[in-house]
Amino acid sequence: MPENTEKKRVLSLIQPTAVPHIGNYIGAMRNWAGMADGYDCVFGVADLHALTIRLDPAILRKQSMEAFAMLLALGLRRGNNVVFCQSQVPGHCQLAWILNCYTQFGEASRMTQFKEKSQSHADNINVGLFTYPTLQAADILIYQAHFVPIGADQKQHLELARNIAERFNGVYGPTFVVPEPYIGKLGSKIASLQEPAKKMSKSDPNPRASIAITDPPDVIMKKCKSAVTDSEAEVRYAEGKDGINNLMTIYAACTGRAFEEIEREFQGKGYGDFKRAVGEAVIAELKNFQEEYARLLADKAYLKQAAAEGAEAAARIANRTVDKAYRKVGLWDFRR
């Protein structure tokens, strides 16, 4: 894909270790394909980051392929976007080492995600967990990304990437674009179906708490029907009705209807009717994505070709940044 220098670049990577849920889809993913009209977009599968936990190699390969297929199924077409797998672009690791040398130990030790993951993986507190944010900074800076869509849990990591870029630029002159958080169309915040006071999470141990975007229709319906509500049996958006508020938010996001319309639609009806309607709306919302995802998974040759093309396009951008960083720090390039 020819690089478009007139547009600002947006970068977003997904990990292959957990299937995104309906909140991820509504809040961000379904809008990604349309971003190509206004931005130069780079999307990838962060499979190197998945190595911080021990996975069966065959499972990691399978999940990485599935995550790549998910990106394509969202409509991220070759020619409009760069779509790639992180491990297939060696520059990520090359730049990460340089950035490690420009990251202060105190900065890395303050990363809250390292503390949290160290507790949840106490039997495998590896150096990769500690340097994870620096690799993430390399992911961003290597593509000279202007914007990065982030959630609240990633603000600290983006700030580190900004600090590293500014520090490096301050020593060697302009080298990296200093990235900003991407503030796009406000997405709906979706809560857990079982604990609606908490946000929906891919890592929730309760399988009924979240709807994965690959869940089949019957599973989606069961999860919606089992969603926690209240004893009022009145569909209205109000304080203290977290469960119904959450279901109304999902229904509104999938149908485009305002809360007032939803309240009128279900006036005099019980929660059973409403939960069934929410399930049907989610199933309809995901239908095209799921059909395209299934089609892509059945065409392994196409996925391999698309992944190879994506890696080549990503490497063209990444290699220029690595070469520039190598020259700036004084690494000898005997090819010149």
Helix, strand or coil, per DSSP, at residue 147: strand
Neighbours of 160 (CB within 10 A): 22
Lowest mean pLDDT among 76-80, 104-108, 199-203, 215-219: 76-80
User: Residues 51, 31, 155, 325: what is their CA dihedral angle, to the nearest 10 degrees?
Assistant: 60
Predicted local confidence at residue 109, as pLDDT: 81
Residues with Cβ within 8 Å of residue 153, at least 6 apart in sequence: 113
pLDDT grade, residue 2 (50/70/90)?
Answer: very low
Q: Give the helix/strand (H/E) hosting 133.
A: helix 127-141
Cα gap 173→153, rounded to integer Å? 31
- Count the Cβ atoms, other than its own, within 10 Å of residue 183: 9
| DSSP labels, 58-127 | HHHHHHHHHHHHHHHHTT--BTTEEEEEGGG-THHHHHHHHHHTTS-HHHHHT-HHHHHHHHHTTT---H
In this prediction, residue 153 carries a pLDDT of 59
Query: What is the share, in percent, of the chain residues with pLDDT greater than 90?
Result: 75
Q: What is the maximum span of the chain, computed from C-alpha positions, in angstroms?
A: 78
Task: Please identify which of the residues 8, 202, 225, 324 carries the catalytic annotation.
Answer: 202
List, for residues 87-109, the tens digit of each pLDDT value.
999 999 999 999 999 999 988 88
Q: What mean pLDDT is reported for the chain?
A: 91
CB 333 within 8 A of CB 21: no
Q: What value does the mean pLDDT take over residues 152-172? A: 90
Q: Label the pairing between strands 40-45 and 147-148.
A: unpaired
Alpha carbon separation from 20 to 64, 82, 133, 231, 291 (Å, rounded): 13, 20, 21, 31, 16
pLDDT score of 118: 65
Indicate whether 43 pLDDT > 70. yes
Q: Do domains 9-187+300-329 and 217-293 have the same CATH topology?
A: no
* Whole-angstrom distance, CA of residue 336 vs CA of residue 320: 14
Question: Does residue 188 surpass a pLDDT of 80?
Answer: no
**Tokens found for residue 151:** 């959630």
Q: What is the mean pLDDT of residues 17-42?
A: 91
Catalytic-role residue among 199, 223, 241, 275? 199
The pTM of this model reads: 0.90
Rounded mean pLDDT, 154-163: 89
Q: Say whether 167 sits in a helix, a strand or coil.
A: helix
| CATH 3.40.50.460 matches 217-293 | no
Residue scoring higher pLDDT (157 or 66): 66
185, pLDDT greater than 70 = no
78: CB partners within 8 A, 6+ apart: 1, 306, 309, 310
| Cα 138 to Cα 168: distance, rounded to the nearest angstrom | 12
328 given a catalytic annotation: no
Structural domain spans, the chain:
9-187+300-329, 217-293
CATH number of 9-187+300-329: 3.40.50.620
Q: Active-site residue 324, yes or no?
A: no
The amino acid present at 75, given as its one-letter code, is G
243-274 b/e with 16+ CB inside 10 Å = b?
Answer: bbbbbbbbbbbbbebebeebbeebeeeebeeb
- Label residue 119 by pLDDT band (50, 70, 90): low
Tell me, yes or no, if 199 is annotated catalytic. Answer: yes
Residue 254's pLDDT is what?
96
**Residue carrying the six token digits 């970068």:** 11
Structure tokens at 191: 């809560």
Q: What is the predicted pLDDT for the residue at 1?
A: 42
